[in-house]
Structure formats: structure tokens, C-alpha cells
Structure 1
Amino acid sequence: MFSEFSEQGYVLVLGNIFQYKPTLKLGSSGAEVVELQKLLLRWKALLGSRQAERQFHNAKLHKGKFDRAMKMMVEEFQEVMFLPVNGVVDIFTWQALYAGSPIHLPKLKRGSKGEIVKALQKALLKTGDYLYDSPLDGIFSSVTEWAVRHFQRRMGITVDGIVGFETWDTLSKILLAVTHQHLPVVRSIDLSQIWYVLSENHHDLALEMAIARSLSPETNFTRYYYNRVDLNDDGKNEVIVYLVTADTSNSKEYPILIFQPEGKGYRLISHLGYGAAPIVVTEQMSYGWKDIVIHSKHQGESNYWFAQFDGEQYLGGAHSGRSYEVPTNIAISGMAYIADEITLDSGLELENYHADSWLE
């Protein structure tokens, strides 16, 4: 159905619709590299979804030179497609580019082992479905099966704990979204040890009522994002909430709220002011609670700020004084939650919000 590599480095892409395609790598040039650039834009692996959509037909982007930046984009694409990450566009990378989904991946289930299982575990850790303290050991155990089922349930696909094409394809597309939400480098702060996690995508009515009670009648927040995370290591998940409204004066930064479970509902722990998603939860602790790092453009300058627990609530952020500023040149490790592309029409609709609900 397809040939081996020839001496010229050409391969036959699966199917009769395609001609022979060259193996591309650093230093390649020509029309095939232009095609590669367009395919990377198409699958949101070059500039990010909205930029890619706007600039897809911009000829200036398609110069046909395989430079180091292009190699990095190819490696990023290969990573989310579960391909060998080498920056070389071979037959399998071409096929994945045209298909827009992973190819030639095995079906995994309880008992499977190997590097592909470890890649699955790392991917589920990025999506927030694999438990943070679980081993990345390449063994498809009950822990991995639970994470797969959790992912499948959240995504609305067949829940069987088996990783077949549907699960591989869905996981790849979610990872592609996570890839583009990396935090910017500021003051040489090392963010290389940050894992990015997408927000949860199902409504929690009790949480929505708690959000509504925390708002004043003058506010008009209509959508929200959230992640559950155990902030104080007590085995119970707190909730980080990110509110979105079209009325805000800053279209890229929104309020961050922290809730704690209480009875059958939640109570507000802290209102951290405005910041940009994603929101980093570190392993560093203050008064038994994990420190949070918030990215903000306070007074027009991009910067990072700590929010730290004081025994009753979180204090910090851009509006709490320079003592909370993350020091220059340090390394931050942890999980970056709500790593979604934030828009005014995405996230979850705050269905239970009413102007008078705060009085209830």
C-alpha cells in the first residue's frame, strides 16, 4: 500500500490521491515545505487556532524554508500525534498531517506495557485525568484504566477503559489545544517543568450556585472554566474557577476564585482578582496550602505573582504589592490549570446565574 524510503528520500503516502512525498527535514525547501506549513496551520500546530484560521491563506507565511522554528513546530505536532519526536517529516508524519489524527497506534487495555503506555499516561496527566502522584511506568494498570475511563466520560465518547482509535483521536485533539496555552517567559523565570491541564467540561450545579452567591448584582459573568485540585493535601478537591464576561475592560484577564467543598455545596475561600489563564499550582506550600502563581499584565507589564495562603485565605496577585512578585531567574514546577483557549463563547455557561441569586 506504500513503499519503503527510496535513495532520494521519497515515500508514497497512503492512498492513490497523493503523489510521492519527500522526506523533509532541517534545511529542506521548496513547494513541499510550503505544503507542510499549510498543513501545520490547518491542524493548529503552527500559530494556534484563531491565528491559524485568520492567516491560513496569507502567502507571506508560506516561504518554503524548513528552518529551526519549523522543526520545532513539526516536533510539537509529532508529540501530540504520538509519533517519534525527531523533527523529520517522514511517511507517518505526512499521513498524520493529512488525516489530522494519530495513525498506526495499537489498541491498549489493562495489561498492556511499553513506551506507548507511558506516552498515554503522560498525555492523560496533561489533560488532568491521570492522578498527579501516579507512576509513569508504562504499565496499563487499574490506575491507568481509571484515568482512561475518566477521560472518555468527560469527552462524551465510549466509556470502556480501552484506548482504540476514537480515544487516541480525541486525546490527540485535546493535547493539541493544551500545547498552545504555554505561559510566556518573563524575567528568565524557568517554566519548563510546568504540566498543562485543560479545564473540566461538565456542569456542576452546586458549584454554579456557589459562584452565583459570590457575585454582586452588578456583575454580569456568563461563562466559567474550572478545575478540581487538592490544594491542602487533605484528600478533598478544592475548585479553581475562572469567570468570563464580555463586560470586562481587559479582554484577556478575568477573575479567579477559589472554592472549598462544604456539605453538599461549596464555600468561597478567596477572590484572587484578575489574571490570565492558565493558573499554576505549585508544590511549594504556605500554612499547609499550595502556593499559586498568577500571570498578569498589571500596569501594562507582563509578570508573575504568588498567591499564598495565610491560614484563612489566599493573599497575593498583581494588586497585593511587589512582595508577592515571583523572583527573577527561579524555576517554577507544578500544574497549570485551565490551559484552554479562553474566548467569550467557550467555557461553560453559568446556567444558574440570576441577578438576585446572591440574595438567596
Structure 2
Amino acid sequence: MVRRCIGILILITVVLAGRSNTVEGTGQQPDLTRVTYIQSETERDLKLEKALKELFELQKGDSIRYFYNRVDLNNDQVPEIFAYVTGPLVCGTGGCSAAIFQQAGSTYKLVSRFSLVRNPILISDKETNGWRDIIMYVSGGGIKGAYRELLFDGKTYPSNPSVQPEIKNGEIVGIGIINDDPAQNKGIEIKKDGEQ
């Protein structure tokens, strides 16, 4: 009887171990071996902080941190800024918020705003309407864990990745941005007006 119980436990362990490489045990997952991961920038960007304060309507005493990478999403040789923000005002059980900005003279112009974001964010080599496709992993808050594909519609990207098409398999080629471990890197704190 003891041998039989041990055998059953070993079988369960093997089955569960086989599921660990899949999204939520579905048996399907995209191949990410051709994704190159990069850490976020570490230098403070005051223009970005100003744009984030306005976008999220931050007040005195509000505290958020941000991570960002510069990546050319529309092949115009001018990188866009992808910012991922964390803190109690911009995060929930499904993830945090993010935004894409373009350089517009001495300021940044909003291209897209996202909710339910988890890092890293995958930037595919595939394009839709001249902009690179974005892939985000969504989970938490009752959402089934899955990779979702966000396609540019000619003006913006969809704001909620959880309702976008699921990527169940196939190869993804591109870069993984904001590939930071939040336990190791807390991001850059947005300074209140007048602080350095």
C-alpha cells in the first residue's frame, strides 16, 4: 500500500512538473527563445516624469515609480518611450499601468495608455499598420494567465491587454523590455515638484 501511494505521488509530481512550462497548465505556450531581454533605463527622465504626472493626474503626496525603455516602434529611426509605472494609485491585482510616448519637440506626446500590465513587455518584430506588435502576459484579478497580442490600429494600441487575442503557440521574435526584477530594482521614483 505504501509503495502504491509513493508511486501515485511520483506520478502526480511528474505530471505537475510537465505542466510547469505551460501557461496556466493549458499545454500551449508561445516559443520565447528568440526574444532578447533588456533591463530598463536607469537615468531619470524629467520630461517623462512631467508627462506621467499629467497622465495620471498625480497630486502632492502621491507616490509612483517608473521603469522605461526607448524602442523604435514605428521604424522612423526615432525611439518611442515605453513607461511602466508602479504604485498603489496605478496597480491592482491584474497588474500595473503603462504608456507609450513619442518625442514632440521639447515634450512627450501620448500614443497609448495601458492597464493590467506585467513586466517584461514583449515587442515583436511583426508589425501592424506600420507599428510593431506588443505582447503582454496577463494574469491575476480573476484573469486566466495568457500571452495577449496588442496590434496598432493606425492611431493607438488597445488599452486593455486582457481582452485581446490570446497567443497560444508559435514563435515570438523580438525584444523583452523592462525586464527588471521588482525585488531587485524598485524603479525610479517620480519626484514631487521642486525635488531633485
TM-score by length of structure 2 reads 0.77
CA distance in 1: counterparts of 2:77 and 2:161, whole angstroms? 30
Task: Give 1:316 deviation, angstroms.
Answer: 5.5
What letter matches 1:200 in structure 2?
E
Residues 132-166 of structure 1 deviation map (CA, whole Å, 9 limit, x = unaligned): xxxxxxxxxxxxxxxxxxxxxxxxxxxxxxxxxxx
What letter matches 2:165 in structure 1?
E
C-alpha root-mean-square deviation of aligned residues, in Å? 2.4
Give the structure 1 partner of residue 84 of structure 2. 242
Give the structure 1 partner of residue 138 of structure 2. 296
The answer for unaligned runs of 5 or more in structure 2 is 1-20
What letter matches 2:43 in structure 1?
H
Given that 1:190 and 1:332 are in contact with CA atoms closer than 8 Å, whether structure 2 keeps it comes out as yes
Decide which structure has greater helix share.
Answer: 1
Q: 1:5-154, aligned counterparts within 5 Å?
A: none
What letter matches 2:53 in structure 1?
A
Give the structure 2 partner of residue 331 of structure 1. 171
Q: 1:152-163, aligned counterparts within 5 Å?
A: none
**Which one has the largest radius of gyration?**
1
The answer for unaligned runs of 5 or more in structure 1 is 1-183, 355-360
TM-score by length of structure 1 reads 0.43
Give the structure 2 partner of residue 341 of structure 1. 181
What letter matches 2:32 in structure 1?
L
Identity value in percent: 29
CA distance in 1: counterparts of 2:65 and 2:85, whole angstroms? 6
Give the structure 2 partner of residue 211 of structure 1. 52
CA distance in 1: counterparts of 2:100 and 2:31, whole angstroms? 26
CA distance in 2: counterparts of 1:199 and 1:295, whole angstroms? 18
Task: Give 1:305 deviation, angstroms.
Answer: 0.9
Residues 302-329 of structure 1 deviation map (CA, whole Å, 9 limit, x = unaligned): 111111111111116434x3xx223322
Aligned length: 167
What letter matches 1:294 in structure 2?
M
CA distance in 1: counterparts of 2:62 and 2:22, whole angstroms? 32
Given that 1:245 and 1:344 are in contact with CA atoms closer than 8 Å, whether structure 2 keeps it comes out as no
Give the structure 1 partner of residue 101 of structure 2. 259
Given that 1:283 and 1:290 are in contact with CA atoms closer than 8 Å, whether structure 2 keeps it comes out as yes
Residues 145-203 of structure 1 deviation map (CA, whole Å, 9 limit, x = unaligned): xxxxxxxxxxxxxxxxxxxxxxxxxxxxxxxxxxxxxxx74222111111110000001
Given that 1:212 and 1:353 are in contact with CA atoms closer than 8 Å, whether structure 2 keeps it comes out as no
Give the structure 1 partner of residue 125 of structure 2. 283
Higher relative contact order (CA 8 A, sep 6+): 2
What letter matches 1:302 in structure 2?
G
Cα separation, partners in 2 of 1:191 and 1:353, compared to 1, 3 Å: farther
